[in-house]
Amino acid sequence: MRKADGICACVLFAFGVLVVSDGMRLGAFGWGMAGPEPGLYPFLLGMGVCLGSLLVLARVLVQSRRGLPNEPFISQGGLKPILWVAVPATLMVLLTEFIGLFLAAGLYLAVYTRLVGRSRWVTVLAVSILLPVVSYIIFYKWFQIPLPMGSLEAHWPF
Amino acid sequence: MEALHGLMLGFGVFLTPYNILIAVAGIFVGTVVGVLPGLGGANGVAILIPMTFSMPPTSAIILLACIYWGALFGGVITSILFNIPGEPWSVATTFDGYPMAKKGQAAQALTTAFCSHFVGAMFATVMLTFFAPLVAQFALKFGPPEMFAVMMLTFSAFVALGGKSPVKTVVSIFVGFILAAVGLDTVSGDLRLTFGTIQLLGGFNFIVAVIGLFGLGEIFLTVEEGLRMEGVSAKMSVRVILATMRQLPRFWKTYLRGALIGCWMGIKPGGATPASFMSYGFAKQFAKNPEDFGTGTLEGVVAPEVAAHAAGVSAMLPMITLGVPGSPTAAVMLGGLMIWGLQPGPMLFKDHPDFVWGLIASIWAANALGVLIVLCFVPFFAAILRAPFGILMPTIVFVCAIGAFAVNNRMIDIWYMIIFGIVGFVFKKLDYPIAPMVLALVLGDMAESAMRQSLIMSQGSPLIFFTWPIAGVVNGLAIVFFFWPILKAVRERLWVARGLPQKV
């Protein structure tokens, strides 16, 4: 937990530095045509994040110096289920770029309900076909939201 | 009198078949959303905002508000039957609600919770009805320095009230503000924080952030802990419901205390959770038999519920009068207002009275309707949670993806949603609070323009925030709140140094 806390603070610090540098680029201290220059606000915010993350980092270091009890960032056996959610979801989004959201979602639902949910094939098929079809009718046809269809857009029969 | 007149107008707006239908649908959807893991008020509302684009604004806000009330009801069901608090402010409800359910008194516990919800919400609604016009009247005098001060107070309240680590709260707020600043600077026309990329040009949409942070992030947390669905089944019978209702007036003191705490804390952002714990704590302290608390007493269910729902309603007060939301869900609704083309803030009462009063009337009606609906359909809602998680989880991810895309019809937003999901998980694990970050993301543009306009008014002197009377007082308060954790720590040190018993 402490290690993750430290790493997170470092990342936030780097993020803050990035923001501060962009603020400096835009001019943070001058007086422009329309009041304070546009960089002032990001500059101040970036400084705030830097300062805060340094404080967090300092506390992490003090705690580990004193050898206070620590616990793992991800609890025992917790990583696997997380990856089982994160990786297929990311793959679904990636697939969406090519074959559209509805097909990708159908595949994703089928894979997940079968492999993780261990549902029966009937349930798997029902869920992975019905849900995308119903949401296609509701969102694409009814609410007319142009959800991504990927490269299938041109050949879509409906 | 003006308030009563407005309320009549509001009921005139609300009582059309279309709006009532929308309210019932909203409560239903909201309860489902509240019951489902990974979905809650904030992201349930966020996902549905795109569906409201084609509605008249009043119907749209009624729908979203009813989803919010529904989600609050849904959270009650999961905390009592499954010991899973859907929202942080339902945690205190599990203390006595779940033991009651295990003793076979689930129906009593649910009835008590819903009735307490109703009383708390009604109390806060009365307050809202009569108080909101006055606050709005007062806020009409506010200029940019005052608006900026009010926002500072809002965020300082987060630092003072919420979270385990005040520093992390501050960092989280700043990150939210930074994300809001990405993209085109509307004053100078410069591109900020885009680093030459086209993708960042459009900035980050808070709705996408909410869906990712609260939706996916919550799912990651749920699966990490390993979901245990040891639900207690509930059989609701009219006889038990009526018998329970007859017992409730005994607790009128707990009701009154809880409602007052809820109204007071709810105005401040992030107030519902401390309100529910405070109310529970007070109820225990003043009870004749405090040792019964935690084993399943009616009063232990009443206290947190009344306060949490009074707070949930009173969070609407700053949203409609000042344009500063009191809870993440209210923040999402506020974002909706801007999308529908309404400028949140005190002018709403003058420019769109039908909208404001329609909303307030809908709160009256929706809470009454809501109690009836959930009481009738508890077994149905509980059944949703018994559906296999392997089917629920991918469905929720799919719905989240649709919601994220539909905000701007941009593919990149679905990617942002995944990234925000991971960030949300890491932040939650490391105690960086997420609610203030979302609020900062919503209010970022308003806060910045208020700050810059004030600086223009004062020709660059930051003293304007302290020399203007109202702004000065509010900012002073904000500073006290901001340093409250330090002040508290110093005070505790002093107590210890003097050898006095430490105050809890």
**Residues in contact with B477: Cβ distance below 8 Å, sequence separation at least 6, in sequence order:** B153, B156
Residues A31 and A97 in one domain: no
| Co-location of A84 and A62 in the same domain | no
Number of domains making up chain A: 2
Q: Are residues A86 and A148 part of one domain?
A: yes
Q: Do B188 and A38 touch (CB under 8 A)?
A: yes
Retrieve residue B46's tokens: 């966020």
Q: Based on the fold, state whether residues A20 and A84 are members of the same structural domain.
A: no
For residues A149 and A156, is the Cβ–Cβ distance under 8 A?
yes
Task: Tell me if B190 and A26 make a contact (CB, 8 A cut-off).
Answer: yes
How many other C-beta atoms can be found within 10 angstroms of the C-beta atom of residue B314? 31
According to the per-residue pLDDT averaged within each range, which of A108-112, B341-345, B457-461 is highest? A108-112
Give the per-residue pLDDT at B21.
93
Lowest mean pLDDT among A52-61, B81-90, B162-171, B436-445: B81-90
A7: pLDDT strictly greater than 90: yes
Domain presence at residue A105: yes
Instruction: List pLDDT tens digits, range A32-42.
Output: 666 677 788 88
Q: Which residues contact A119 (CB under 8 A, 6 or more apart)?
A: A113, A127, B388, B390, B391
Distance (Å, whole) CA A148 – CA B212? 19
Task: Please tell me which residue of chain B has the smallest CA distance to A130.
Answer: B395
Select from B185, B390, B425 the Cβ nearest to the Cβ of A113. Answer: B390
Among A17, A41, A66, residue at a domain's last position: A66
Cβ distance of A81 and B193 shorter than 8 Å: no
Phi and psi angles of residue A113, each rounded to the nearest 5 degrees, phi first: -65, -30
CA distance B169 to chain A (A): 9
Judgement on whether residues A22 and A84 belong to the same structural domain of the protein: no
Domain presence at residue A73: no
Query: pLDDT of B205-216, one tens digit each?
Result: 888 888 888 888
Distance CA B185, CA A38 (A): 7
Residue B503 belongs to a domain: no
Among chain A residues, CA nearest to B165 = A56
Q: From the list A12, A42, A88, which residue is nearest B181 (CB)?
A: A42
What is the ipTM for the molecules in this complex? 0.91
Give the count of beta carbons closer than 10 Å to the beta carbon of residue B217: 24
Contacting B residues, span 454-473, partner chain A, CB-CB under 8 Å: 455-456, 460
Burial class (CB in 10 A: 0-12, 13-18, 19+), B338: middle
Instruction: Confirm if B331 and B444 have CB atoms less than 8 A apart.
Output: no
Is residue A94 located within the same domain as residue A139? Answer: yes
Residue B192's DSSP bridge partners are B183
Residue B500 has pLDDT above 60, yes or no: no
pTM recorded for the entire structure: 0.84
| A16, B85, B120, B243, B362 from B372: Cα distances, Å | 50, 22, 16, 16, 15
> Which chain B residue has the Cα nearest residue A125?
B391
Does any domain span residue A26? yes
Whether A71 maps to a domain, the answer reads: no
pLDDT, tens digit, for every residue of B162-203?
A: 667 889 999 999 999 999 989 888 777 788 888 878 888 888
Classify burial at B288, counting beta carbons within 10 Å of its beta carbon; exposed 0-12, middle 13-18, buried 19 or more.
Answer: exposed
Residues of A in contact with B402 (CB under 8 A): 101, 135, 139, 145, 147
Convert B236-262 to b/e letters by CB count within 10 Å (16 or more is b).
Answer: beeebbeebeeebeebeebbebbbbbb
pLDDT of residue A33: 62
**What integer best gives the mean pLDDT of chain B?**
85
Judge whether A75 and B225 are in contact, CB under 8 Å: yes
DSSP-derived letter for residue B164 is S
Contact at CB, A81 and B402, closer than 8 angstroms: no
Residue B421 has pLDDT above 90, yes or no: yes
Closest CA to B356 of B136, B126, B47: B136
| The total number of structural domains that make up chain B | 1
Q: How far apart are CA B247 and CA A48, in angstroms?
A: 53
Nearest to A119 among B390, B402, B414 (CB): B390
- Within-domain flag for A102: yes
Per the domain annotation, does A51 fall within a domain? yes
pLDDT at B86: 67
Provide the domain limits for residue B273.
Answer: 2-497
Residue whose token pair is 């608006």:
B147
For residue B140, give how far its alpha carbon lies from the nearest alpha carbon of chain A (Å).
25
Which of A10, A40, A80, A82 should we substitute to test contact with B (largest number of B Cβ atoms within 10 Å)? A82
Are A20 and A58 within one domain?
yes
- A–B interface: beta-carbon pairs under 8 A: 173
Dump pLDDT digits (tens) for A126-136: 889 999 998 88
Residue where a domain stops, chosen among A66, A94, A111: A66
A123 Rama class: left (phi>0) / alpha (psi -120 to 50) / beta: alpha
Is residue A107 included in any domain, yes or no?
yes
Q: Provide the domain limits for residue A31.
A: 2-66
Of the ranges A9-13, B244-248, B265-269, B323-327, which is most confident?
A9-13
- Residue A143 Cα, gap to closest chain B Cα (Å): 7
Does residue B228 register a pLDDT over 70? no
Pick the last residue of a domain from A66, A101, A117. Answer: A66
Answer yes or no: do A93 and A150 share one domain. Answer: yes
| In-domain check, residue A72 | no
Q: Would you place residue A82 in the very low, low, confident or very high pLDDT band (cuts 50, 70, 90)?
A: confident
**Is-contact B278 B265, C-beta < 8 A?**
yes
A46 in the same domain as A13: yes
User: Phi, psi at residue A125, to the nearest 5°?
Assistant: -65, -45
Q: Which residues of A touch B398 (CB under 8 A)?
A: 92, 105, 108-109, 131-132, 135
The answer to whether residues A85 and A115 belong to one domain is yes
Residue B502, in any domain of the structure: no
Q: From B392, which residue of chain A is nearest by alpha-carbon distance?
A: A113
